[in-house]
Chains A and B, each alone.
Chain A
């Protein structure tokens, strides 16, 4: 079983174009900033928004293909959706919400309620079956919404920002629950999110969407290792500096940004305009004295912040341009860095990657 998507969707003047595949048992996250077209894409997969062009195929069945006039209506698609904001029916109890998809497909009342109740119990909200959505806590409502999407055993599960309605305290627990349910769901799983932490914890592969187009597809590790855009770089914690290039010698150029400059490898494809230079925080070395050596970029500035994550520390240097460096706790202590410390940061030009914008 698999999902194959090649879709152009138009909403007003905004167009989204995306092509990707997902296999059964795999969770693919659609990750992008607000307005990137994630929700439009999900609406089209659910059948709520018509495709302008392309083809969507799920488990061998064509759901959409405008060129041959195929557009399966939402109620005919084997798709379960957990909507942003959940959209539970306010006039029905939790159990009636969960029984709804079965009743709509002609399952008898008793059987639908029995199946709904079993699922609610598995999701540990069986005791809240008779409560109306307005009386449920955020976490409970989320479980009911998940149960409602799963109860009719769809082939494709779409989760649109499933944790966005929750407060920080319940989010971690809810994320665990979603992860467990995703793991036991046998079909194709699509998760829409703008939260990179959520994406890398829940998804096997990421599809990065920006301004209506896919800019990168890969596992979280692949994207960490080589982000293709400034958004992807920032998402995975890589420095991205935008500016235009000036040639200084064979194979090297100077990137002139609004807030500083860097020496970078000269890209053969450059014809003008802005580019993005990616500087991995681990490639940046910090010194208390001006370093000797071959690094082409030696920048000076005060430490503006220090954040410790496990045995690593992220240190922000207020150089021109400002950059993040990542170092071990040992180095941090040896250098005695704290906000305000005056430091030198060095990085070799060849370690910087230049991307078109």
Chain B
């Protein structure tokens, strides 16, 4: 990126490249304010983290339980999002059916929905008195609320739209004529899927998995509302941070740094390999 000083218009000489315009000074001020808004909390976290105790705090049983649970919940949520999101993206891109626009709008709604509202909704659907939950309880004696499955459902709810959007973009970018070519070369539908569609969509499949996994890992509002904050069962890392803030602030900072490190790793990974 060029700094404001080197973007002065060069002296115009006949057919020189189009001259660059000077960046408005106001933009520099406002942009700096934006960067500070995001940067200061990060700086605060770094400064307040008890670096000498990080190893000790992160290896306590509470944190290890939360870490293990978070990894399981996020991984299962990302897997469910992919397995159900791929067929849905396929139908949204290639299918033609009534209500397609409505379904797409509904699927991306969780992106702009307050997670606590998502939690309330999950309660209404899968709670013991919910539309599906009451039925599951009566027939099988299953209760989802306050179990790890509830944490998985909450995480899936918020990460599913990201998977669908990434997969939709991947499917839209495919040249369907390549699939035609493959079928004339003797490839069955599944062979085309395995050897042509999946490899060509690899960047978007990776993006779908990583984005939904990262979103699931950070889920807080829906989880605490629908699944509760039970150590070893539903207390994921963000919930442990929340609890730690009240009981052991240094632990909260240490776990926050861990989550930031994971998030940072995801962004670096996506930048370099997955997002074109």
A residues with CB within 8 A of B = 43, 46-48, 73-75, 77, 79-81, 83, 85, 87, 89-91, 100-101, 103-105, 148, 152
Contact = CB atoms under 8 A, between A and B. Distances in A.
A193 to B, nearest CB: 19
Nearest to B177: A87
Interface in B151-204: 175, 177-178, 180-188, 191, 195-196, 199-200
Given A75-B186, A104-B186, A148-B185, A89 B178 contact: yes
B200 A91 contact: yes
Nearest to B196: A89
A81 B187 CA distance: 13
Contacts of A148: 185
Given A89-B178, A90-B200, A75 B195 contact: no
Given A87-B177, A90-B200, A77 B184 contact: yes
Nearest to A45: B184
B181 A105 contact: no
B109 to A, nearest CB: 34
Contacts of B199: 91
B209 to A, nearest CB: 19
A87 B178 contact: yes
B185 A101 contact: yes
Contacts of A46: 180, 184
A103 B199 CA distance: 16
A235 B8 CA distance: 58
A79 B188 contact: no
Interface of B: 175, 177-178, 180-188, 191, 195-196, 199-200
B177 A104 contact: no
Given A87-B177, A104-B187, 13 more contacts: A46-B180, A46-B184, A47-B183, A79-B184, A81-B181, A83-B177, A85-B177, A87-B178, A100-B182, A100-B185, A104-B185, A104-B195, A152-B186
A47 B188 contact: no
A72 to B, nearest CB: 11
Given A89-B178, A89-B196, A48 B183 contact: yes
Contacts of B177: 83, 85, 87
A82 to B, nearest CB: 10
Contacts of B178: 87, 89-90
Contacts of A47: 183-184
A74 B191 contact: no
A77 B180 CA distance: 13
Nearest to A98: B185
A89 B191 CA distance: 14
A48 B184 contact: yes
B180 to A, nearest CB: 5
B252 to A, nearest CB: 46
B186 A81 contact: no
Given A100-B195, A104-B188, A104-B191, A75 B181 contact: no
Nearest to B185: A101
B180 A48 contact: yes
Question: Which A-B residue pairs are the 4 nearest by beta carbons?
Answer: A101-B185, A104-B187, A74-B183, A87-B181
B200 A73 contact: no
